[in-house]
Structure 1
Amino acid sequence: MPPIDAGADAGTVPVADIGPDTCPGPAASDTDTARGADSEDTLDLRLPDELLALIAQQETEAERGRSPGTVGGTGREGLFAATGDDLLDGVADWGPIATPAGEFHLVPVRVDQDLALIGGWMNDPAVAAFWHLAGPKTATEDHLLAQLAGDGRSVPCLGLLEGTPMSYWEVYRADLDPLARRYPARPHDTGIHLLIGAVADRGRGLGSALLRAVADLALDKRPACARVVAEPDLRNTPSVAAFLSAGFRFSAEVDLPAKRAALMIRDRSRRDLL
């Protein structure tokens, strides 16, 4: 299951603003481990109750001869009917937030309206190097539809700055993601992936401002979430610097199938200090 800037990338890979290296990779194998874990991140491999409930639901549906996730509807609708909740507490209703660059708003993707724009961004070589979705629009379309038809643990969004679409985001439940096998996940950890679309918007500190804003939204709108996490490619120094400038801390190096990542964490308990 992703170019950044923080004003800290002067002279280093200016096209790598925030996004290309924060894309999701393939599911990691169980033998991969996080290295250099922060001493405050204690390992807890117990599966979250919500994930156990999902597994039990799928087993029950299989016994009844149904495709998983079809209780009370199809895909995400069925899961919400069974759990009574959206796994990310209604990203569509998070609303706008003020940033130094203007009002910013996350809006869930509508494939029929947004595919051409997002597909164009994915074909930018700086983005394609990390997201691996360049080519015909079907590549991006399949990526988006897989999330929209899922159980709600990952929501693809457009980022609107002063009403103008300028970035693509994925907000996801890190504790229900394969990433959770690679670090000491805690219940309701919220993950983010980001790419900034226009080259003109990269390399001027915008990535850091938006990362901080979205992390604040997640913490404000998801009371059960104590941490926001991300896993930029360790090779992308500007990206890591932007997360640090946005109040994230470096926690560990994580081996994923598509990359060696820097596990970045923003803690609710430290949000006013960093």
Structure 2
Amino acid sequence: MPPIDESTDAGTARAARAALGSAPGSRAGTGFDPGAGTDCEDTLDLRLSDELIALFAGDTFSRDGTADGTAHRTTAGAVHGARGGSPEETTDADDLLDRVGGWGPARTSAGALHLVPVRAGRDLALVHRWMNDPAVAEFWELAGPEAVVEHHVLRQLDGDGRSVPCIGVLDGTPMSYWEIYRADLDPLARHYPARPHDTGIHLLIGGVADRGRGLGSTLLRAVADHVLDRRPSCARVVAEPDLRNTPSVSAFLSAGFRFSAEVDLPGKRGALMIRDRSLRDLL
């Protein structure tokens, strides 16, 4: 689920980890383990509908930590680069993420950020380069030949719309990679008390120059609030960065997320971070 850091006094090792904000971590594993710091306010007796149970039953897991069949092909306007061919637009009436590509810019103190849904032919080389940065690869585990990243991205693009990979374009410059996903329909929901329409965020910041100066927190806050603005049915934005990635956890806290629990996910122990609609003006 990403590559960012709020800390500016971190040493070399911490600065490297700042590249990753919240990499995908919703892998198959044991049941929910509240661990230390569980917020009892988040617990509830969640009864899944037959539809959700059917969706979960169809999930399988892969090495990189996301469920097979995880996203819908969408696009925004021509925000960066040559697109080649006519723009693609989602037309499904029941789009699971309310058409991320049409959300428009998120206004931040660093400029206007557009989330532009990935197009494989245009964006794979860029995402591949970012994934092979050692600071990113430590947590995303997608380093290697371009085919590794291609598989990860195409599985989302060819999926059912529950996860949309995007390029973050800040004032016209592609500088980050995002995955906006339905956490309540993701295998992550097996590891915490999910609520309907919970929306998850994964983030990595591509350029070294953009890391370690608080930009990650600025963008996370803006995008989380953008999700809440564009998805009225969503009451919470969630993330699960690796607990070892202290700069990332710090960035989420600075972005108005609260630490809810530690969760055991295959391959990592995650920090469940939540930004609540009801608390957005207080945190």
TM-score category by the smaller chain? 0.7 to 0.9
Change in CA separation of 1:15 and 1:76 when aligned onto 2, cut-off 3 Å? closer
Q: CA deviation at 1:17?
A: 2.3
Q: Which amino acid aligns with 2:4?
A: I
Task: Report the Cα distance in structure 1 between the residues aligned to 2:275 and 2:54, rounded to whole angstroms.
Answer: 27
Structure 1 partner of 2:38: 37
TM-score, scaled relative to structure 1:
0.86
Structure 2 partner of 1:230: 239
Alignment of 1:159-198 (within 5 A): 159-198=168-207
Q: Is the contact made by 2:31 and 2:190 (CA closer than 8 Å) also made in structure 1?
A: no
Structure 1 partner of 2:79: none
Structure 2 partner of 1:273: 282
Change in CA separation of 1:9 and 1:93 when aligned onto 2, cut-off 3 Å? same
Task: Report the Cα distance in structure 1 between the residues aligned to 2:72 and 2:23, rounded to whole angstroms.
Answer: 22
Question: 2:17 aligns to what SS in structure 1?
Answer: coil
Q: CA deviation at 1:48?
A: 4.6
Q: Does 1:116 align with 2:115?
A: no
Question: 1:151 aligns to what SS in structure 2?
Answer: coil
Question: 1:175 aligns to what SS in structure 2?
Answer: helix
Task: Report the Cα distance in structure 2 between the residues aligned to 1:40 and 1:195, rounded to whole angstroms.
Answer: 30
Task: Report the Cα distance in structure 1 between the residues aligned to 2:49 and 2:157, rounded to whole angstroms.
Answer: 22
Q: CA deviation at 1:84?
A: 3.1
Change in CA separation of 1:26 and 1:223 when aligned onto 2, cut-off 3 Å? closer
Q: CA deviation at 1:10?
A: 1.5
Give 1 or 2 for the bigger CA radius of gyration: 1
Alignment of 1:23-62 (within 5 A): 23-25=23-25, 27-35=27-35, 36-48=37-49, 50-52=51-53, 54=55
Output one character per residue of 1:29-80: Cα deviation in whole Å (capped at 9) or x when no partner: 2435232321210233422565246579x8xxxxxxxxxx9xxxxx958xx9
Question: 2:261 aligns to what SS in structure 1?
Answer: strand
Change in CA separation of 1:50 and 1:192 when aligned onto 2, cut-off 3 Å? farther
Q: CA deviation at 1:159?
A: 0.2
Task: Report the Cα distance in structure 1 between the residues aligned to 2:248 and 2:234, rounded to whole angstroms.
Answer: 24
Change in CA separation of 1:43 and 1:28 when aligned onto 2, cut-off 3 Å? farther
* Of 215, 240, 257, the match for 1:206: 215
Question: 2:41 aligns to what SS in structure 1?
Answer: coil
Q: Which amino acid aligns with 1:116?
A: A
Question: 1:34 aligns to what SS in structure 2?
Answer: coil
Structure 2 partner of 1:217: 226
Q: How many residues align?
A: 253
Output one character per residue of 1:211-262: Cα deviation in whole Å (capped at 9) or x when no partner: 0011011000000000000001111111111101000000000111011110
Change in CA separation of 1:250 and 1:174 when aligned onto 2, cut-off 3 Å? same
Q: Is the contact made by 2:180 and 2:201 (CA closer than 8 Å) also made in structure 1?
A: yes
For structure 1, list consecutive stretches of 5 or more residues without a partner in the other structure.
59-68, 70-74
What is the aligned-residue identity percentage?
Answer: 70
Task: Report the Cα distance in structure 2 between the residues aligned to 1:55 and 1:143, rounded to whole angstroms.
Answer: 19
* Of 150, 156, 168, the match for 2:159: 150
Q: Which amino acid aligns with 1:5?
A: D
Task: Report the Cα distance in structure 2 between the residues aligned to 1:9 and 1:185, rounded to whole angstroms.
Answer: 33
More helix as a share of residues: 1
TM-score, scaled relative to structure 2:
0.83
* Of 231, 237, 247, the match for 2:256: 247
Question: 1:225 aligns to what SS in structure 2?
Answer: coil
Q: Does 1:86 align with 2:60?
A: no
